[in-house]
Structure 1
Amino acid sequence: MSFGFKNLEVWKVSKSFAKDVYELTSSFTSDEKFGLVAQLRRAAISVMSNIAEGAGRKHKKEFDHFLYLARGSLNEALAQLEISFEFGYLNRDQLDLIEKKAESINRMLWKLSKSLEKSEDR
């Protein structure tokens, strides 16, 4: 059985983003294990999960809704990465790299959403 979401470039990059978040948070202090680490990991996983769930929906408007949710989760992760930097859990280079990947994901989500709108207009 083939799942179409696995062919989406935005899903692939989102999966890579989630892996990066897991790697970055592995060095956080142990007292953050059930706080910031868990929250950040959930938000990162939610990006790729919402893309996958939306791709499996029957209607394009539903897919677009899940892309909207994925963007929200991406923003949530970025806010949490920013506070992680402020707490000293990440250095500037780490934050800059993960933010660049997030910007790329955001652009891809936006373009995919726009393409869904155009295909519904036909």
Structure 2
Amino acid sequence: MKFKFENLIIWQKAMDLGEEMNALAYKFPKEELYNLSSQVRRASDSIALNISEGSILQSDAEYRKFLGYAIRSTAEVVTCLHKAKRRNCLNEDDFLKFYKACFDLMNMTIAFRNRIKKA
């Protein structure tokens, strides 16, 4: 038995990204614990949470709205990655790897949202 959102590739990728960002945040300096570490964890977790929450709604318009929240949370993660790189908490190779994961996930989520009919 599965919930329908568990079959969505965007949800699976969002779950993976959340775990990667959680592991990354543990590597940040202690002074970032209540700032950047917390923010990147919350933003990345929000992506999968909004995809799953939106999937149980009756209305396509509401589902599109929650997918929009997931897209915005992905953009927030990208900004956290830029902040981490500027603060020397993240090297260029890791930045590019995570940036690409976010870029791909955002584009997949936008494409998925575009397939859901507008109200």
Structures share fold, TM-score greater than 0.5 = yes
- Correspondence list, 1:97-108, <5 A: 97-108=97-108
- The Cα shift of 1:78 comes to 0.7
Percent identical residues: 26
How many Å separate the matches in 2 of 1:55 and 1:104?
20
- The Cα shift of 1:111 comes to 1.0
Which runs of 5 or more structure 2 residues have no equivalent in the other structure? none
Name the counterpart of 1:40.
Answer: 40
1:73-120: CA deviation from partner (whole Å, max 9, x where unpaired): 111111011010000000000000001111111111111111102xx5
Which runs of 5 or more structure 1 residues have no equivalent in the other structure? none
- The Cα shift of 1:34 comes to 1.1
Name the counterpart of 2:2.
Answer: 2
Whichever residue aligns with residue 27 of structure 1, its letter is K
Name the counterpart of 1:23.
Answer: 23
Whichever residue aligns with residue 60 of structure 1, its letter is D
Aligned pairs, number: 119
Whichever residue aligns with residue 52 of structure 2, its letter is A
Name the counterpart of 1:92.
Answer: 92
Whichever residue aligns with residue 98 of structure 2, its letter is I
1:111 counterpart = 2:100: no
Q: CA RMSD in A?
A: 1.2
TM (normalized to structure 1)? 0.93
